[in-house]
Structure 1
């Protein structure tokens, strides 16, 4: 297969590398691009065995210059997380091989097992999915690895926040002042750090049958150690932008209903919620694009910016 032509865009050296990870007699018979991601190329590989059976693998490839530069840290972090998660009951992919410095592939890559299910970003059925998301996140936060991952990193700072056009200037000014303060003390937890509906796979049966269930949690590149509030905040912001501000506020309630523990003080909850929410001001265009590609055509940049503004204002009203 030639570079960038056949194989769904998998390059020749990468295909050779993947081939060396397969069992004797196995061969790649199909490649399909997976859409919806922001930071990497994702390919689903169909592998046929000598007895006629098939299995599927997933190849993550960093090609963006920024992520290529940081790939060694990021891909090793994800590969280590997948090893840690094996056998924990968290439905994560299994690590097969990693080439974090592109020693064997054209670009840094990670090969892992494929999980069943699909991402679900529709408004329909959200009421049933939110408690499932909350319970899954509580389960992640119960993990106590022998070796902690690195400490969380904040994705914005007060002086870096630029409010969206037409945003409520007073609300955003007050919100920025909140995250200008030192971070509150917290009890550390194992964090996914990028937990949101786009990184969770569901099995959704036909109407009239059993409800949806989670079949996988993917994209463990940002795994870290920090406050449970921060993971809750990130999923809350995504829900607010995808489905409306009320769902962003609802997720924290669902997390506590599932047995999760958040900061006791409203001011501390507000800090973590805003630390995540305000970081989206610079990322709206990037996060909205894959949602539109996944079928949410109405989520234009302007629409998502409006929802972010409404969510920040709602947080200030509810917790400020």
Structure 2
């Protein structure tokens, strides 16, 4: 009898669905929970091959009812993105199967290949990783798929922003006024829409090694078509919260140094930077939790709120 780690968390109907998409003679021999996700549960499935070896797949399932309401849309997007990325050189998983409406699985699910590597969220080695992140994002934005993903969506409004406790009301009021304006015109690019350190995998050398490289970019559920500034702003906000506001400000420069092109004027760039920072104000608690689970225990909700306040203030104080 096969002994699965954490097997009880995966329903028999889902396991049967996975098994139908394996090669002849293969079977599931192990299941491991992957930590760090916010919207979906992730499992690494070890597959025993006919030749006696193993290979790994990843199962993403939307179990939580709140996120399950959007699961069909997200899974269609991710399946489409992984299909478009196949053969492009961007190190992304390959799609194996998808059941966006839970027609066969217990929950809406997607099955994909496993990409080797690990997320690196520590401060150590960040100067080495930053240009790698920038170059990878430039490569993603350079893609011109025959079929574009759907247009980007931004949900944050002036009325949904959550001002951190103790923040300067005047500064945040000015920031909110920035996003009251219409979005600047922009050239469209292929966007990841959640490109940040938690979704980028690196190989195993020491963090400051010159041989460090990116092995994978994961979580394409929000892939869209829109301004490059959106992806840059999102990664900048995450860097600011993980490592301090100065690193968030630095990422846009690194992106341009890597050959990326941002909006033409400082005001247009500020719009996207502020929009993403304010969007994060609504979900600080959700953002901070997986970082603590990954070992950054000092990143309490309050610490992340303070960094967000400092970052938004720095954006509003920047020349131009």
Q: For this structure pair, what is the TM-score category when the shorter chain's length is used for normalisation?
A: over 0.9
Once residues 85 and 144 of structure 1 are traced to their aligned partners in structure 2, the CA distance between those partners, rounded to angstroms, is 10
Match of 2:299 in 1: 299
* Cα displacement string for residues 262-284 of structure 1 (whole angstroms, at most 9, x for unaligned residues): 01111000000011100111100
User: Is contact 2:5-2:30 (8 Å) kept?
Assistant: no
Match of 2:185 in 1: 185
Match of 2:90 in 1: 90
* Cα displacement string for residues 4-56 of structure 1 (whole angstroms, at most 9, x for unaligned residues): 99516211111111011111111111100000110000000000112111100
Q: 1:38 to 1:6 in 2, by over 3 A?
A: closer
Match of 1:114 in 2: 114
Match of 1:263 in 2: 263
Match of 2:41 in 1: 41
Once residues 211 and 300 of structure 2 are traced to their aligned partners in structure 1, the CA distance between those partners, rounded to angstroms, is 30
Q: CA deviation at 1:93?
A: 0.2
Match of 1:152 in 2: 152
With 90-99 and 155-164 compared, the bigger mean Cα shift is at 155-164
Match of 2:174 in 1: 174
User: Is contact 1:270-1:319 (8 Å) kept?
Assistant: no
1:1-320 mapped onto 2 (5 Å cutoff): 6-7=6-7, 9-206=9-206, 210-319=210-319
Once residues 280 and 165 of structure 1 are traced to their aligned partners in structure 2, the CA distance between those partners, rounded to angstroms, is 15
User: Is contact 2:125-2:208 (8 Å) kept?
Assistant: no
Q: 1:70 to 1:206 in 2, by over 3 A?
A: closer
Q: 1:213 to 1:303 in 2, by over 3 A?
A: same
Once residues 207 and 269 of structure 2 are traced to their aligned partners in structure 1, the CA distance between those partners, rounded to angstroms, is 37
Once residues 5 and 203 of structure 1 are traced to their aligned partners in structure 2, the CA distance between those partners, rounded to angstroms, is 25
Q: CA deviation at 1:149?
A: 1.0
SS in 2 for 1:45: strand
Gaps of 5+ in 1: none
- Calculate the aligned-residue CA RMSD, in Å: 1.6
Q: CA deviation at 1:170?
A: 1.3
Once residues 215 and 275 of structure 2 are traced to their aligned partners in structure 1, the CA distance between those partners, rounded to angstroms, is 30
Once residues 41 and 153 of structure 1 are traced to their aligned partners in structure 2, the CA distance between those partners, rounded to angstroms, is 24
Q: CA deviation at 1:309?
A: 0.1
SS in 2 for 1:298: coil
User: Is contact 2:128-2:208 (8 Å) kept?
Assistant: no
Q: 1:319 to 1:146 in 2, by over 3 A?
A: farther
* Cα displacement string for residues 45-90 of structure 1 (whole angstroms, at most 9, x for unaligned residues): 0001121111000000001213222222110110011011000000
SS in 2 for 1:201: strand
Once residues 97 and 283 of structure 1 are traced to their aligned partners in structure 2, the CA distance between those partners, rounded to angstroms, is 30
With 221-230 and 208-217 compared, the bigger mean Cα shift is at 208-217
User: Is contact 2:236-2:251 (8 Å) kept?
Assistant: yes
